[in-house]
Homo-oligomer: A and B are copies of this chain.
Amino acid sequence: MKNVLLASTSTLHGESYLSYLLPVMKELFAGVTEVIFIPYARPGGISHDAYTEKAAGVFAAAGFTLRGLHTFTQPADAIRNGQAFFTGGGNTFLLVKQLHDLGLMDVLRTEVEKGKPYMGTSAGSNIGGVNMQTTNDMPIVYPPSFQTMGLIPFNLNPHYLDPIPDLPHMGETRETRIREFQVQQDLPVLGLREGSWIRIKDKRITLEGALSARIFEKDKEAYELEVGKEIVL
């Protein structure tokens, strides 16, 4: 009984914040009046207030009130009483640390598993995975744990990037990094390209959006999953 949207990115190149997600947001949040915004990932170090204001403008235009979780004195109660949730992108370490420090990770998972709509973009999608260990973000803070909500039985790599041909740069490719992770943990990873998202309706998980996803399973060659397909991992 889940109703979840995990998007690779909030913003497509040359478009405005969340604009490509508006149609699916309206479907996801149908019947909801107020959505609770989790601003902890703070992209570029933006304040919780400024981040909430940015997102609230888009939500208002779509017909939903958005309220920042940081404005509640009892955030766990706010989640328990909330109708629906949106976690914005930014730094996954910061987001996960804050959720664990405040004891909110399990509370949020419990409410989402009851069927309350949840939307994540980028870092907010990472926390839908089993753990945050395939994030691209810098470890700017030290979270007490890397465990996340596990709404899906695999990990995501948002902003998935294919190797750039002819780039003389010697830093590891995204695929190399994901393979290094799988030496440590036998967990499938879905490389989610910008413009695509994962939709969970009850037990059915599908890939939606503009681009196919790249699937990495330990000791198997990586392969493409087409848009519209069910994800069975």
| Chain A contacts to B: CB under 8 angstroms | 9, 11-14, 42-45, 90-91, 93-94, 132-142, 145-146, 159, 161, 164, 167-172, 176-185, 194
Cβ-defined partner of A146 (8 Å) among B14, B91, B139, B177: B139
Shortest distance from the beta carbon of A218 to any chain B beta carbon, whole Å: 10
- Inside 8 A of A138's CB, which chain B residues have their CB? 133-136, 177-178, 180-181
How far, in angstroms, from A171 to B176 measured CA to CA in the complex? 18
- Inside 8 A of A172's CB, which chain B residues have their CB? 43, 136-137
With both beta carbons as reference points, the residue of chain B lying nearest to A132 in the complex is identified as: B139
- Inside 8 A of A133's CB, which chain B residues have their CB? 138-142
Shortest distance from the beta carbon of A18 to any chain B beta carbon, whole Å: 12
- Given the contacts A135-B139, A140-B184, A168-B13, A44 and B176 also touching, CB distance less than 8 Å: yes
Task: Determine if B139 and A139 form an interchain contact, defined as CB atoms under 8 angstroms apart.
Answer: yes
Task: Determine if B145 and A169 form an interchain contact, defined as CB atoms under 8 angstroms apart.
Answer: no
How far, in angstroms, from A182 to B178 measured CA to CA in the complex? 27
How far, in angstroms, from A177 to B139 measured CA to CA in the complex? 9
Identify 20 residue pairs between A and B in the complex whose beta-carbon atoms are under 8 Å apart, listed by A's number.
A13-B170, A14-B168, A42-B180, A43-B172, A43-B176, A43-B180, A44-B176, A44-B180, A93-B139, A133-B138, A133-B141, A133-B142, A136-B172, A138-B178, A138-B181, A139-B139, A139-B146, A140-B184, A161-B169, A161-B171
